[in-house]
A and B are shown apart, each in its own frame.
Chain A
Amino acid sequence: MSSLVPESLSPSLESFWQKTQSDTSAAPAWWQKRKAAEWEKFQSLPMPRRTDEDWRFARINSLNFDGYTEPQPIDEEGKRLLEERSLLPTEVAGVLIFINDRLVSFQAVDPKLAEKGVVWKPLSQAVEEDSDLLEKHFMSQPIELGSEKFSALHGALCKEGSLLHVPKGVEIDKPFVAYHWASGENASIFPHTLLIADEMAKVTLVDYFASADPNSRNLAIGVNDLYAGKGAKVTYLSAQNWSLNSLAFHLNSTQAFRDAFITSLNLHLGGSLARTESHSQILGENAHTEMLSLTVANGEQQFDQRTLQTHYKGHSVSDLLYKNALFDNGRTIFSGLIRVLEDAQKTDAYQTNRNLLLDPTAEANALPGLEILANDVKCSHGATTGQIDEEQLYYLLARGIPRKEAYKLLTYGFFEEVLEKLENSEIQEHFRDLIKSKFQTS
């Protein structure tokens, strides 16, 4: 089969791969083997095609990998500046700061937690020290939403990220925080997050992603895999603020076992094209997953959101709410599927996509879907796309608030329904500030 899209993406990525191979020559054999297999997979898989269902409405020709390269190390001054820009809550359980997939700052867990077996460390260190755990879990969850090729590139080139393992019964209230910075023109990074919460564990992890320079062009392919064991309570929050020239992928898989409770909230602000895939798998009864997402699309930005809620077991709840605010020529695609298998009776599964169009030139596409094989379930899906409420706008104007400011306020208000669910008020405030800062620069 021939294709108009070149399958070999970029010579600079080729040399990136060669460098990665030589850098990992002392790593455990399985790690080297795994990476080689991922590289091979990356090369052999075709580029997405316009006709692929998983890429419906996406602008395939925006997937341009030319020039993306291995990022350069940055100097001490640059490190210092980015560390300063890495805003942290006052109370944290642990911190990892990476620039260009290199560790620059590491706050380990409290020794008491370490004694209980809590593992929090950079991936590069985990490859050496926690090889068995990593071998079992590293990218072991299926990618089913269309980005198999890019996930494989991540697998091949990924060298940093965070490993967080919370053993049975350990509850940690303070959040773990990881920062991932991309610095330099064409810098490509592959941040990885692996969170394993064993039975009855409780944990919160926050990932921040950003370009150091708002004008640089970056490639970021991040993968985050979450495991919530029986009765575990997991909160995963992320905020991406890549430069507006960047190409970004955030690929998530989540497994929820019996009685697990998972909340995830992802804030998407940056990227010229940002694709997110999120797959929530309900593997046990009485599990509850909440999938929340907020996106501001403006300028020429495109956000491509693909979600899947798979219920293998019954008596569980999955609840998805994706809210997009669109300005200018901003464009979003939400494509979501709820899949309930035969055994998953008494499932409650909900999927909601709300789009707020603030300019007539913006475009929101919604493709909600249900695939239900069980006969005793409660499922709903819905997508709404609307403009600003004229009476609300008038009320703000009538108080002297200029139209542009009124739009911003109404956008913040539109997001508040989701933000108010955040328990940590500092992180909540930080997310609000990130949203505001997007409007200040545009």
Chain B
Amino acid sequence: MSTLEIKNLNVTVAETEILRDFSLTLPKGEVHAIMGPNGTGKSTLAKALAGHPDYEVTSGEVLLDGENVLEMEVDERARAGLFMAFQYPSEIPGVSIANFLRAARQARLGEDEELEVTKFYKEMYEKMDALKIDRKFTSRSVNDGFSGGEKKRNEILQMAMLEPKYAIMDETDSGLDIDALRIVSEGVNKLKGPHMGVLLITHYQRILNYITPDQVHVMFDGRIVKSGGKELALELEEKGYDWIKDEVAQTA
């Protein structure tokens, strides 16, 4: 039951079908990479799982440790333990990272429970130190005027503070220079472990030089068409995506 199980998921965006009978099982403690050419539905998968209102699930099931995610509101999914690291995180002027994280942590407590502020700050600073994020960061407005790298690091900090059961990283590597990519990858490596499953959605193999996946899935035309070990990523890097397309065409 300690899995994120996606069964025959069909998703449409603006009445166009993007995901077609998409199925995947992500066990806790593992890192799975999803790769694939542009426009194949990778980001749609991430957004549909996180409950974005523009993405309509027409059929299928998503079970988080046996709980039906699709019946939950966006905020309930997050509190149930699903975390989405966004490709393009929103900028929220006037809301400091500290207040934002406090509200998110408070939301995970019972109604009569009050967040212990001193403990919260202590924990936050420890995690920032571990992730090599400057403590001054917390008084800045969420993503407001951040560089691409800072935004992604902020996503990692949130992941560290919210301790999700399953994290979906939606092209976290896109737009990062090599230093930022290394820092973000180090963060993920520090956080991953037996208590968390990671779904790493990426277009490029590059990030897999830093984060070693247990499995690599190739997505094409709205579903997974090939799965394998980490060596599959290298093969894709070498040969591109065309041979996959040819394979799919042959079996169709």
Q: Which residues of A contact B (CB under 8 A)?
A: 389-392, 394-403, 405-406, 409-410, 412-417
Contacts and interface: CB of A to CB of B under 8 A. Distances in A.
Given A394-B52, A395-B142, 10 more contacts: A391-B90, A394-B90, A398-B51, A398-B78, A401-B104, A405-B107, A409-B92, A410-B92, A414-B94, A416-B95
Given A401-B107, A409-B99, A409-B103, A416 B74 contact: no
A167 to B, nearest CB: 39
B92 A399 contact: no
B53 interface: yes
B104 A400 contact: yes
Contacts of A412: 94-95, 99
B90 A392 contact: yes
A356 B148 CA distance: 29
Contact of B162 (A394, A400, A406, A410): A400
A409 B84 contact: no
B86 to A, nearest CB: 7
Contact of A410 (B51, B75, B95): B95
B78 A394 contact: no
A417 B84 contact: no
A398 B100 contact: no
A416 B95 CA distance: 8
B231 interface: no
B108 interface: yes
Nearest to A416: B94
B93 interface: yes
Q: Is chain B's interface secondary structure helix, strand, loop, or mixed overall? A: mixed
Interface residues of B, number: 31
Contacts, number: 82
A221 B187 CA distance: 58
Contact of B75 (A389, A403, A413, A417): A403
A307 to B, nearest CB: 23
A273 B180 CA distance: 53
B103 A394 contact: no
Contacts of B79: 400
Of A390, A398, A409, A414, chain B has the most CB atoms within 10 Å of the CB of A398
B99 A402 contact: no
A413 B94 CA distance: 4
B74 A394 contact: yes
Q: Is chain A's interface secondary structure helix, strand, loop, or mixed overall? A: helix
B87 to A, nearest CB: 12
Interface in B85-124: 86, 89-95, 99-100, 103-104, 106-108
Given A394-B53, A394-B90, A402 B95 contact: no
Contacts of A398: 50-51, 74-75, 77-78, 84, 86
Contacts of A416: 93-95, 141
A154 to B, nearest CB: 35
Nearest to B73: A397
B111 to A, nearest CB: 11
Nearest to A391: B90
A415 B141 CA distance: 13
28 contacts: A389-B90, A391-B90, A392-B92, A394-B52, A395-B89, A397-B51, A397-B73, A398-B50, A398-B74, A398-B75, A398-B78, A399-B104, A400-B79, A400-B104, A400-B108, A401-B107, A403-B73, A403-B75, A409-B100, A410-B95, A412-B94, A413-B92, A413-B93, A413-B95, A413-B141, A415-B94, A416-B93, A417-B94
B132 to A, nearest CB: 22
Enumerate the 4 nearest inter-chain pairs by beta-carbon distance, A residue then B residue, closest first: A413-B94, A416-B94, A400-B78, A395-B90
A395 B92 contact: yes
B158 interface: yes
B213 to A, nearest CB: 24
B75 A401 contact: yes
B249 to A, nearest CB: 37
Contacts of A399: 75, 78, 100, 104, 158, 162
Nearest to B143: A395
A417 B92 CA distance: 12
Interface string B202-241: 0000000000000000000000000000000000000000
A380 B107 CA distance: 42
A431 to B, nearest CB: 14
B103 A401 contact: yes
A396 B75 CA distance: 8
B141 A397 contact: no
Interface string B18-52: 00000000000000000000000000000000111
Contacts of B93: 413, 416-417
Nearest to A408: B103
Contacts of A410: 92, 95
Contacts of A400: 75-76, 78-79, 104, 107-108, 162
A414 B94 CA distance: 6
A181 B84 CA distance: 49
B77 to A, nearest CB: 8
A358 to B, nearest CB: 15
Nearest to B92: A392
